[in-house]
Structure 1
Amino acid sequence: MNSPTTSEARPLVFTNARLVDPASGREAPGAMLVQNGAIADIAWDEPVRPGPAEAEVVDCGGLVLAPGLVDMRAFVGEPGAEHRETLKTASEAAAAGGVTTVVCMPDTDPVVDEPSIVDFLLRRARDTAIVNIHPAAALTKGLEGREMTEFGLLMEAGAVAFTDGARSVTNAQVMRRALTYARDFGALILHHTEDPDLVGSGVMNEGELATRLGLPGVPREAEIIMLERDLRLVRLTGARYHAAMVSCATSVALIERAKAEGLPVTCGVSINNLTLNETDIGDYRTFLKLSPPLRSEEDRLAVVDALARGVIDVVVSDHNPQDVETKRLPFAEAADGAVGLETMLSAGLRLVHAGHISLAGLFAAMASRPAALLGLPAGRLAVGAPADLILLDPDEPYVLDKANLHSRSKNTPFDEARLEGRVLKTFVAGRKVHDISLAS
């Protein structure tokens, strides 16, 4: 596993904190001691506890101290498209948004389909990134959907999961073989469930609004049919399977049924599909051209409800930086994607403030559950766990200015949005990597 290199740091004592542990669901006042990059002691219901004489004391002032987020789906340009994003800029955006672990997708140039490229990414992240970076390797060679990659060698090199990123494996026989192979290695398959033939030339959710805007639509069935096929293959193979992003009520029902059958199935949802709907596209706003597309408000409410009930396991940023040349185009011609590492938590807090989900529930979907799926020790407040922590004011209001984002690309769907909740400090292995008070 990759983590930023740290020098010996002074112990840290966090006092007067509102501790939130998503792994246990516990939330209470308390204090915490961090030593040697790990949590050394937690004092629940005891806001002040003295630490070693040499310790640095951080008075949290009653604000939330929680595990850093684990984002299972982020596209980073490096290698090959550093003009869009680098590991350095992505990690800075992540730290500002409270994300301390990032799983980067294999859609790079070259594609992450060889152990040497996994090794390159880990070494590059070690040298330039300020948060934990874990590569996901390609499911098929060249992301072409025809020939499986060498799962065993890629896992040995450090790949934490297998996916073709924004592409779906349309060949059912190839997908069956990949699932069988993954089962034998204990590997996790992350799949983008969208039939490209049904998507066709579609650019937004199919329906009345698309017709009124004069834009070709993407039917929900493009997602539903691919997901249903995959679930049948999971029944056949018994492999661990994660639907990367679901976006509609029927997909939720399919996942819920599969879980009731005891299948080893999990799923995620993009923060965009949780908090925005198709009407937000407004006057052809290309920053909201996404895959899967923003759906109807009814579908959005269905995925919010599924998240609250635990049917949807994780929330992802689906961070996908695009430069102005690919976004400053007519809507139908613009590239899919939006940046999201820096805004995922603030946007998700909309659901907390609206009463749809508890704060611990949101952190479970953004930290402890993704960490557990990936086999990482992060995402929890426990003695011995990595001191990947964030100090959060969940109520601080602000208006997002895309010019202030740390990402190299600025294609955020939340530009000029009113948000509540800011990450004030971020720590990775006990080392401070973000402090809003020091921002210029």
Structure 2
Amino acid sequence: MKTLLKNGRMISHNNEMTPVDIWIEDGIIKAIGKDFEQSGVGFDKIIDAQNGLVTPGLVDVHVHFREPGFEYKETIQTGSRSAAKGGFTTVCAMPNLNPVPDTKEKLSDIYRRIQQDAVVKVLQYAPITMDLRSDVLTDQQALKEAGAFAFTNDGVGVQTAGVMYQAMKEAAANNMAIVAHTEDESLLFGGVMHKGAVSEKLGLPGIMSATESSQIARDVLLAKETGVHYHVCHVSTKESVAVIREAKKAGIRVTAEVCPHHLILSENDIPGDIGNYKMNPPIRANEDRQALIDGLLDGTIDCIATDHAPHSREEKNQSMLKAPFGIIGSEIAFELMYTEFVETGIFTLEQVVNWMTVVPARLFNLDCGTLAIGSAADIAVFDLDETVTIADDFASKSNNTPFIGKEVKGQTLYTLVNGNVVWHKGGN
């Protein structure tokens, strides 16, 4: 099967746009250049990129697909279609499921479901401890053999330092990463949003910044002791950025991600007690938001991840006191980043693309995130010209985002996985 993707544009290292065609053969990139159509090659399929931006398929190391156990929120099928609609071709799914994939058999069952239903490449996390909340470590070697991407208790922080230390030692021995949701539950005090002026105004219990940063401070010291690759999920506070920055200076093997909603929103954007503004970690103060932007620019924060966390409309359509934490992000992450930061000159297009492709793949040694001859034809094409309004027509089962109604550029035109079109604007 020979496919030609023509009339695209690629971003060059000097942030200029270069015309490009890509010759795909049997799911592999055979050539990158121009005018292949005139070469006499008989292509079986021709895709017109319509002058769109051609990038490697986006890579997201933090999504929640809710299957098994919570299929009313999302499934592997709908979650992977949501990822494809956003231009993602490789995603890494969290293990806060029911049952938790804490044994080889349970993890293998999820991969069976992925093989059957996913339209993009899905890598599955395994938990650090049995059933997420226990202090009993999982059998990391067995889970690695079953295909575990990395180890995390995302959704809850590992509360006991000794448990985290032992998990890090084991992960280091297995050459695997520990990926941490950092949250000291003893400091939560029932909080539902950032503790600050807005939580006081709304009369809602707040979540201190130290709830996150204090556990990162603990963990980076443990990472120093063990030599493990320690990756921090969804950084949200200026104190967390400072701790990670100093840890990197000290030569500790720590990496970190940030989510679009934490880069774009601050507590001042929360108009009231609305469930769609409830996420964990919460939207913080403006000075935290600026610290996250600065952290990306200086390399303290390594990459962008969505923390795509779907919930039912009924669950989110209530007070923050009752609504679950979480926001969807797969379908709108790139267009939000392009509109909010590239169009305004805060980030370059090359930076945003790298933070969403090359860097996350490199951090976890994944064979994706680049466009190269001989590599899998995992490709995204984005429209940088047309302004559209984010509508409540998601491929996800859920719509829990406060960005509905926002005008953006950067919609996905095509997403290809192994050379096959898995998303086409207007065709899905």
Report the TM-score, using the length of structure 1 for normalisation.
Answer: 0.93
Amino acid at match of 1:210: S
Cα deviations across residues 87-125 of structure 1 (Å, max 9, x unaligned)? 000011111111111111000000011111221111111
Selected match of 1:12 from 3, 11, 31: 3
For 2:383 and 2:310, the matched residues in 1 are separated by 27
TM superposition shift of 1:21? 7.3
1:370 matches 2:352: no
TM superposition shift of 1:339? 1.2
TM superposition shift of 1:436? 0.6
- 3-state SS of paired residue (1:236): helix
Give aligned-pair identity as a percent. Answer: 34
For 1:148 and 1:123, the matched residues in 2 are separated by 24
Q: Which residue of 1 aligns with 2:31?
A: 41
Cα deviations across residues 341-374 of structure 1 (Å, max 9, x unaligned)? 1111111112111111111211111111111222
1:336 matches 2:325: yes
Selected match of 1:273 from 253, 262, 278: 262
Q: Are the equivalent residues in 2 in contact too, given 1:21–1:67 (CA < 8 A)?
A: no
Aligned-pair RMSD on alpha carbons? Answer: 1.7
Q: Are the equivalent residues in 1 in contact too, given 2:274–2:318 (CA < 8 A)?
A: no
TM superposition shift of 1:273? 0.4
Q: Are the equivalent residues in 2 in contact too, given 1:145–1:168 (CA < 8 A)?
A: no
For 1:325 and 1:29, the matched residues in 2 are separated by 46
1:398 matches 2:388: yes
TM superposition shift of 1:16? 2.8
TM superposition shift of 1:325? 3.1
1:282 matches 2:255: no
1:380 matches 2:373: no
Amino acid at match of 1:87: I
Cα deviations across residues 247-300 of structure 1 (Å, max 9, x unaligned)? 122211211111122211100012210111112221222111000000111211
Structure 1 gaps, min length 5: 1-9
1:357 matches 2:338: no
Relative distance call for 1:33 and 1:209 in structure 2 (3 A) is same
TM superposition shift of 1:55? 3.9
Q: Are the equivalent residues in 1 in contact too, given 2:234–2:259 (CA < 8 A)?
A: yes
Structure 2 gaps, min length 5: none
Q: Are the equivalent residues in 2 in contact too, given 1:145–1:170 (CA < 8 A)?
A: no
TM superposition shift of 1:395? 3.1
TM superposition shift of 1:145? 4.0
- 3-state SS of paired residue (2:385): strand
Amino acid at match of 1:173: G
1:408 matches 2:397: yes
- 3-state SS of paired residue (2:200): helix
Q: Are the equivalent residues in 1 in contact too, given 2:308–2:329 (CA < 8 A)?
A: yes
Relative distance call for 1:324 and 1:405 in structure 2 (3 A) is same
1:176 matches 2:159: no
TM superposition shift of 1:25? 8.2
Amino acid at match of 1:187: M
Q: Are the equivalent residues in 2 in contact too, given 1:425–1:436 (CA < 8 A)?
A: yes
TM superposition shift of 1:329? 2.1
Selected match of 2:86 from 91, 97, 103: 97
- 3-state SS of paired residue (1:279): helix
For 2:391 and 2:17, the matched residues in 1 are separated by 32
Q: Are the equivalent residues in 1 in contact too, given 2:107–2:148 (CA < 8 A)?
A: yes
- 3-state SS of paired residue (1:390): strand
Cα deviations across residues 182-202 of structure 1 (Å, max 9, x unaligned)? 111100110011111112211
1:125 matches 2:86: no
Selected match of 1:303 from 279, 287, 292: 292
Selected match of 2:101 from 96, 107, 112: 112
Amino acid at match of 1:324: R
Q: Are the equivalent residues in 2 in contact too, given 1:30–1:48 (CA < 8 A)?
A: no
Cα deviations across residues 161-199 of structure 1 (Å, max 9, x unaligned)? 110011100100000001111111100110011111112
Q: Are the equivalent residues in 2 in contact too, given 1:192–1:243 (CA < 8 A)?
A: yes
Alignment of 1:41-190 (within 5 A): 41-43=31-33, 46=34, 50=38, 52-190=41-179
Q: Which residue of 1 aligns with 2:219?
A: 230
Provide the aligned length of Structure 1 versus Structure 2: 426
Amino acid at match of 1:218: I
Amino acid at match of 1:14: L
Q: Which residue of 1 aligns with 2:199?
A: 210
User: Which piece of structure 1 moves more, 60-69 or 168-177?
Assistant: 60-69
